[in-house]
Structure 1
Amino acid sequence: MTIGSPASTFAAEVARDLRLQPKQLQSKYLYDALGSSLFDAICRLPWYRVTRAESRLLTAHAREVVRPLVRKAGSTVVELGCGNGEKIVLLAEALLASGGSARVHLIDISPQALEQTEERLTRLHVSVVGHQSPYEEGLRRAAAAAAGGGPMLVLLLGSNIGNFDGPEALNFLQRIRATLGPLDFLLLGTDLVKPERELLLAYDDPLGVTAAFNRNLLVRVNRELGGDFDIERFGHVALWNEAEQRVEMHLESGTAQMVHVAAADLTVRFEPGERIWTESSCKYTPEQVQQMGADADFAICEQWIDQKARFALTLFGAA
């Protein structure tokens, strides 16, 4: 069951963000049906190792992660951004194998992601509720539904926290913490700093899958908002911003051009080489992850690191 599909604010946000300097489009709009499929393909590329590293850590430590929920009546698991459901299934299987159970709340703005993950969990006979909504709205609903029950485990995996810039990431964790009770937990997946070449290959792969994923955002604007972006006149750019410790994705105009977006009542000019900033992916050190959690008033329980791909899973307690 999926509840709470939000009203679209796509046009208003496009109108606002393309008037900014630098021009921007929000990364959440990358994930229409085609974008979600392209991202699934990215996760299988040899150069993008986040998903495989996180899956290795979850496979190795799933029972430790779910241990606080075992033999606790009324337990709840909430996943912020469920993707294709592979990771939550690993944890659900570990919980069931340990003799536990929990109701699962899935929060994602992609109906395709929710449907796919719900199907996976239903096959395991897990009780699941999907929320097509932004993270915080869905988390509030899930927390309200779980009030008075057992412990709640919130999952923020896939280094999704990296899409928030430094202060914004901390503020987001603080808001999550404010929603949790003293018996609750947060499992945070974070991509770690690694050599620049390795990072750029992950976000600008030789097959061009990530470029297609990025440019598909303009296809979506054209289709849903009556835009007239000439896709061939925009190129994919990925760069490492060392000062801000993040990979940035941009769409770069190859020529001077005017673009009209009917539903946004917007006409905007692009100069040659002008960019639209579409996504940030911040990278961390293990110590930075721990400090960010502490600054958000979490207590660290465990931190597991995949040394091969430089990825961390950190379990925080809300006590």
Structure 2
Amino acid sequence: MKGIVLERDRAQAADREEFRRAVLNGLSRRPRAIPAKFLYDARGSALFDKICDLPEYYLTRTETEILRAHADDIATLAGKNCGLVEFGSGSSVKSRLLLDAMDLAFYAPIDISREHLDRSVGRLKKDYPSLAVVAISADYMALEALPDVPLASRRVGFFPGSSIGNLRPEEAVLFFRKARELLGKDGALVLGADLKKDPARLHAAYNDSAGVTAAFSLNLLRRMNRELQGSFDLKAFAHEAFYNAEQGRIEIYLRSLRDQLVTVAGRTFPFLEGERIHTEYSYKYDEAGLAALAQQGGFKVAHSWTDPDRLFAVTYLTVT
């Protein structure tokens, strides 16, 4: 038990050091930017779960409806005794639709938030006592292999929530290549992607009337205050999200509301009124563009499903 605790403490220290380096590097450059993955500490992950239930946030609701309607089709395409590998698992809510439908040798959720992952896996092991659940706390883009997973006839990846949209196109291609490497030559990938649509609907989804998305963004500053001895005044920054039609993406920032000095990890950074920290992109795709991107990363479209309004797509990709 002592060894497990020491290993956990070392891992947490390594995570905090990675966060420190990313923050100092991101605040030192122009334009300022901090990778979106650091939004997802335990509190950030819990806030994102609340975002998924908001009336304006159609993405989760629509994707869930598609998965519920076609989970059996996905199970048929995947075959028997396969392993399900989820990239960025969060609370594993949508995963349960596949866990219930598929014939699985194991389920391996990968998530950067160790605390959130441990809670989710605890619930899964209780609800699926006969399923081998292998929790992997890591940045899936940095994984070299899947540790300690049982043998399976094939590995099927699951990347829901339009998380592919959080990656720049060149980063998305790198993700596909990484997934191909982890899933193997017989692998497949179930991918959720948000489709291009009316900009007004996109704006509403990322600027909800209850302010939950704003709280999610501002939690990054709260995390810096807590973990890096930061001095951010959360009332002196605002969540800003808008659709860039030329780039086909939502852009999300934290905007300084006044001239100010902020200290983080022993360093002081000046902010001018209106100066922004970029935190996230969310690219929107059409089906042809998504297929072309996947092909660059070593996958081809085997099947794709959308909702009646064509807001969202769930695509089953196979390795080329």
Residue 287 of structure 1 corresponds to: 288
CA drift of 1:138 comes to 4.4
Residue 212 of structure 1 corresponds to: 215
The two structures have a TM-score, normalised by structure 2, of 0.91
CA drift of 1:201 comes to 0.8
Whether contact under 8 Å (1:103, 1:128) holds in the other structure is yes
Q: Secondary structure at the match of 1:21?
A: coil
Aligned-partner Cα distance in 1 for 2:203–2:108: 34
CA drift of 1:113 comes to 3.1
Indicate whether 1:127 and 2:128 are aligned. no
Count of equivalent residues:
309
Whether contact under 8 Å (1:49, 1:309) holds in the other structure is no
Whether contact under 8 Å (2:134, 2:149) holds in the other structure is no
Aligned-partner Cα distance in 2 for 1:117–1:304: 28
CA drift of 1:23 comes to 0.8
Aligned-partner Cα distance in 2 for 1:301–1:69: 11
Offset from partner CA, 1:137-189 (integer Å, 9 cap, x none) = 447225x745x641000111111111111111112212222333232101111
Residue 51 of structure 2 corresponds to: 42
Equivalences for residues 252-263 of structure 1 within 5 A: 252-261=255-264, 263=265
Letter in 1 for 2:240: V
Letter in 2 for 1:306: D
Equivalences for residues 270-309 of structure 1 within 5 A: 270-308=271-309
Residue 201 of structure 1 corresponds to: 204
Indicate whether 1:113 and 2:116 are aligned. yes
Residue 228 of structure 1 corresponds to: 231
Aligned-partner Cα distance in 1 for 2:231–2:183: 45
Residue 36 of structure 2 corresponds to: 27
Aligned-partner Cα distance in 1 for 2:80–2:164: 30
CA drift of 1:281 comes to 0.6
Letter in 2 for 1:235: A
Residue 314 of structure 2 corresponds to: 313
Pick one of 51, 56, 62 that aligns with 2:71: 62
Aligned-partner Cα distance in 2 for 1:232–1:204: 17
The two structures have a TM-score, normalised by structure 1, of 0.91
CA drift of 1:121 comes to 2.5
Aligned-partner Cα distance in 2 for 1:178–1:277: 30
Aligned-CA RMSD value? 2.0
Whether contact under 8 Å (1:107, 1:138) holds in the other structure is no
Q: Secondary structure at the match of 2:104?
A: coil
- Where in structure 2 are there 5+ consecutive unaligned residues? none
Change (3 A) 1:151 1:222: same
Aligned-partner Cα distance in 1 for 2:119–2:60: 17
Runs of 4+ in structure 1 off by over 6 angstroms are 1-4
CA drift of 1:223 comes to 0.9
Aligned-partner Cα distance in 1 for 2:38–2:184: 32
CA drift of 1:117 comes to 2.8
Q: Secondary structure at the match of 2:280?
A: strand
Residue 248 of structure 1 corresponds to: 251
Whether contact under 8 Å (1:162, 1:282) holds in the other structure is yes
